[in-house]
């Protein structure tokens, strides 16, 4: 007998990961990146108070973390103006998405998302046998009315919508999201990914009752709080849905140092304001570099800027390759027509200097090899 005996679903899937990490690319190129501007990490770093809390807790690493993340959940409930039972903490939004899909989606169940939106969500849906139905972007925005319309057509159980959006950095007013809830098919849940909402204009966060069963909101400490490596995400939703995660979640998935670090970061509102200001300055810098090179930057409500290279996806890939060859790690949207762009994460002045130096060289190469 051949081992192992995989399920038919697993047998049918490729072994793949949604993203190739910068470390793998560094190994392939045999050198480190001079500017790491592709993963939308917070290059301005976490709160010093968070780092101090993590260091202090390190001597207790022999203990398991609190399986309920009680103290962090209580602080998040206060932060979001909801009850404790409306909050769930998990291993980043990626982990929460995986558990949400596992809760709701079986083989053949319809799920709706945007074509070119966050690929990790698609990875989870495919992994549990769901049927993905994709809607194109409209004017570089995720098209929420079209997503809802497709959900009606296919009887979807789940819709994924990010506001602000990754990879384009665009956004819609929160009031539009709230209004869309009244148009959802009966029994369909909107997964609202708000990973970048701390960088967005006022009014982007939707005003949604915490016990509304039609939506679950997801946020993270990976972006504005600068703790991507700690893997801390949280969800806000109706108490019954949040409680259902206890049926399947990894109860010891959160480590103690991440829990106390996130709690300290949440309380350090001054550092968050500092990061937000630095991101605004960096967005302006990226837009200026793009303009100086004859490119246009899309307005952004995130900690990255999507730059329109003014041609097709093949040209943008040549620009990206030229940057990577010069030690600048960037990424780009996967799907046309958004793949005419490259996506550049915000960074410090030194990274912006590297970008300003290498972008014209990468563009020159792209023009010559086209």
Domains of the chain, earliest start first: 18-45+270-369 (3.90.1150.10), 48-267 (3.40.640.10)
Give the lowest-confidence range in 309-313, 340-344, 366-370.
366-370
Mean pLDDT of 303-307: 98
Mean pLDDT of 8-29: 88
Instruction: Characterize the bridge pairing of strands 304-308 and 328-329.
Output: unpaired
DSSP state of 130: -
- As a whole number of angstroms, the distance between CA 282 and CA 40 comes to 12
Is pLDDT above 80 for 139? Answer: yes
Mean pLDDT of 173-187: 98
Mean pLDDT of 12-37: 90
Confidence band (pLDDT; 50, 70, 90) for 194? very high
User: For 322-362, what is each residue's pLDDT tens digit?
Assistant: 999 999 999 999 999 999 999 999 999 999 999 999 999 99
Instruction: Characterize the bridge pairing of strands 296-297 and 131-135.
Output: unpaired
pLDDT score for 1: 67
DSSP state of 228: G
Phi, psi of 368 (to 5 degrees): -75, -25
User: Could you tell me which residues come within 8 angstroms of residue 1 by beta carbon, excluding any fewer than 6 positions away?
Assistant: none
User: For 67-120, what is each residue's pLDDT tens digit?
Assistant: 999 999 999 999 999 999 999 999 999 999 999 999 999 999 999 999 999 999
Residue 126 contacts residue 13 (beta carbons within 8 Å) = yes
Residue 88 contacts residue 96 (beta carbons within 8 Å) = yes
pLDDT score for 19: 80
Tokens of 265: 């970061």
User: Could you tell me which residues come within 8 angstroms of residue 111 by beta carbon, excluding any fewer than 6 positions away?
Assistant: 101, 105, 125, 130, 131, 132, 133, 156, 157, 158, 159, 160
Tokens of 323: 């940057």
- As a whole number of angstroms, the distance between CA 319 and CA 140 comes to 20
User: For 257-301, what is each residue's pLDDT tens digit?
Assistant: 999 999 999 999 999 999 999 999 999 999 999 999 999 999 999
Average pLDDT over the chain reads 97
- Of residues 8 and 234, more confidence is placed in 234
How would you classify residue 129: left for phi > 0, otherwise alpha for psi between -120 and 50, otherwise beta?
left
pLDDT score for 369: 87
To 10 degrees, what angle do helices 144-154 and 174-181 make?
Answer: 20
Is pLDDT above 90 for 3? Answer: no
Is pLDDT above 70 for 242? Answer: yes
What pTM was computed for the model?
0.96
User: Could you tell me which residues come within 8 angstroms of residue 249 by beta carbon, excluding any fewer than 6 positions away?
Assistant: 88, 90, 99
Tokens of 198: 């701390």
Strands (DSSP E) contained in 172-302 are 189-193, 215-220, 233-237, 296-297
pLDDT score for 229: 96
Residue 166 contacts residue 176 (beta carbons within 8 Å) = no
């Amino acid at each position: 007998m051949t081992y192992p005996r995989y399920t038919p679903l697993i047998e049918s899937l490729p072994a793949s990961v949604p993203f190739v990490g910068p470390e793998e690319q560094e190994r392939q190129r045999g050198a480190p990146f001079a500017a790491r501007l592709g993963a939308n990490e917070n290059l301005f770093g976490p709160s010093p108070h968070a780092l101090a809390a993590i260091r202090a807790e390190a001597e207790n690493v022999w203990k398991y973390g609190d399986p309920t993340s009680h103290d962090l959940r209580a602080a998040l409930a206060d932060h979001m103006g909801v009850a404790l039972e409306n909050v769930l903490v998990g291993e980043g939004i990626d982990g929460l998405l995986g558990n949400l899909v596992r809760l709701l989606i079986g083989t053949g169940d319809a799920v709706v998302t945007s074509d070119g939106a966050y690929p990790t969500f698609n990875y989870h849906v495919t992994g549990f046998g769901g049927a993905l139905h994709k809607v194109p972007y409209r004017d570089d925005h995720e098209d929420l009315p079209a997503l809802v319309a497709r959900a009606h057509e296919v009887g979807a159980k789940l819709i994924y919508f990010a506001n602000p959006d990754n990879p384009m950095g665009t956004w819609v007013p929160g009031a539009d999201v709230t209004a869309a809830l009244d148009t959802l098919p009966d029994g369909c849940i909107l997964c609202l990914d708000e990973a970048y909402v701390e960088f967005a204009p006022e009014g982007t966060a939707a005003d949604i009752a915490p016990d509304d069963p039609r939506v679950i909101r997801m946020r993270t400490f990976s972006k504005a709080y600068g703790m991507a490596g700690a893997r801390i995400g949280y969800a806000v939703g109706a108490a019954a849905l949040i409680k259902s995660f206890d049926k399947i979640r990894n109860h010891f998935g959160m480590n103690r140092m991440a829990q106390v670090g996130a709690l300290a970061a949440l309380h350090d509102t001054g550092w968050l304001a500092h990061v937000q200001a630095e991101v605004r300055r960096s967005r302006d810098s990226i837009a200026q570099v793009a303009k100086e090179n004859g490119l246009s930057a899309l307005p952004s409500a995130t900690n990255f800027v999507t730059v329109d290279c003014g041609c097709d996806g093949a040209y943008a890939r040549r620009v990206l390759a030229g940057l990577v060859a010069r030690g600048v790690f960037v990424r780009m949207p996967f799907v046309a027509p958004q793949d005419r762009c490259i996506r550049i994460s915000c960074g410090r002045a030194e990274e912006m200097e590297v970008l300003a130096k290498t972008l014209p060289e990468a563009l020159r190469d792209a023009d010559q090899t086209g």
